[in-house]
Amino acid sequence: MPGVLVRIRSLHSSLPKAERNVADYILANAEAAPRSSVQEFARAGRVSVASVSRFVRKMGYENFKDFKLELARETGATARYLFEKITRNDTDEAVARKVFLGTILSIEDTLKIMPLADLVAAARAICGCKRLMLFGIGGSGYMARDEAMRFSYLDFQAEGFVDASQILLQAMRVRTGDVVVGISHSGRSSITVEGLKIARERGGVTIGISNYPHSPLRDACKFFFCTSFPETRVNVAALSSRAAQLCVLDALYLLTARHARGIWDVERVNALTERMLRIKARR
């Protein structure tokens, strides 16, 4: 099971308001929280004791005592992660530091909750597919196109689609065994979710990457990989979980390259590309 703080950050946005108050108290007071009683948790979060108990069970623990014990074990190693959200009063140096700390935490937490066996299984599915499609809207669309280009170097029919009509049209063309990857930070991009639903209904192997474990995207996927970005700590929308998403995609790419057969001679492809560019430049 992932650590307490990782689970709290991962589930934070999906919690009811009362339980989210408990989560906020713990994230802001991770070192002191293990020494607090259930009544102190309730007072700090302005909630009932029953809400604290529900929160503890939702985190995967049978009782408050077990929860506090695990939190106490973890906080000694995670105190260095406690940083505040970016504010107008921060210095330039403080902003830069918080960005780096947020990214480091995101990647480390994502690794902790990553189902590595599923990553390998997803890569093997890509190895056996005739066509690989990646769907994404907005910022996720840029990532979808970049990854499609990279997978094409492994001799896959890989394409990235970023337009709503394209996504729906290509989803309707999915055949059994095709692989479709949907990238959505929120997991609620209606076009991406609908595209994966259609692809799965048509026999495609669907893979989703999102920052939220309880999202519509998850329900549309055979394989789902959740990143972890502490947005309750660093409220910078442009950052989102891009670094962690790239790590997931990099892992899929390298695992696919490892298990694929008949990969192109990449050096030859590069040499041919450079040759064509030189010919074009002379013109």
Tokens of 187: 């997991």
Choice between 21 and 271, residue whose per-residue pLDDT is larger: 21
| Residue 14, pLDDT above cutoff 90 | no
CATH architecture of the domain with residue range 113-267: 3-Layer(aba) Sandwich (3.40)
Q: Which of 195, 247, 251 is nearest to 221 (CA)?
A: 195
pLDDT of residue 12: 86
Phi, psi of 161 (to 5 degrees): -125, 130
| Residue 28, pLDDT above cutoff 90 | no
Spell out the domain ranges in the chain. 4-82, 113-267
Q: Please state the length of the chain.
A: 283
- Rounded CA-CA distance 204/220 in Å is 11
- Which of 25-29, 128-132, 229-233, 240-244 reaches the highest mean pLDDT? 128-132
Residue 83's pLDDT band, with cuts at 50, 70 and 90, is very low
- Rounded CA-CA distance 281/36 in Å is 70
pLDDT of residue 79: 42
pTM (two decimals): 0.71
Give the CATH class of 4-82.
mainly alpha
Choice between 123 and 14, residue whose per-residue pLDDT is larger: 123
Residue 219's pLDDT band, with cuts at 50, 70 and 90, is very high
**What is residue 233's DSSP assignment?**
T
Number of H helices, E strands in the chain: 13, 5
pLDDT of residue 77: 44
Choice between 281 and 32, residue whose per-residue pLDDT is larger: 32
- For the chain, the straight-line distance linking the first and the last C-alpha, in angstroms and rounded, comes to 60
User: Would you tell me how many other CB atoms lie within 10 Å of the CB of residue 187?
Assistant: 25
pLDDT of residue 82: 41
Q: Find the largest Cα–Cα distance for the chain.
A: 78
123-160: per-residue pLDDT in tens? 999 999 999 999 999 889 999 999 999 999 888 999 99
Tokens of 92: 């330039």
CA 18 from centre of chain? 25
- Rounded CA-CA distance 214/212 in Å is 6
- The residue to which tokens 């589930």 are assigned: 11
Residue 266's pLDDT band, with cuts at 50, 70 and 90, is low
Determine what percent of the chain is predicted with pLDDT higher than 90.
Answer: 46
- Rounded CA-CA distance 263/129 in Å is 14
Q: CA geometry: angle at 83 spanning 77 and 86, to 5°?
A: 160
pLDDT of residue 264: 61
- Rounded CA-CA distance 273/166 in Å is 28
- Rounded CA-CA distance 8/55 in Å is 10
**What is residue 205's DSSP assignment?**
E
* C-alpha distances out from residue 184 to 53, 195, 213, Å: 32, 12, 12
Cβ(170)–Cβ(133) below 8 Å: yes
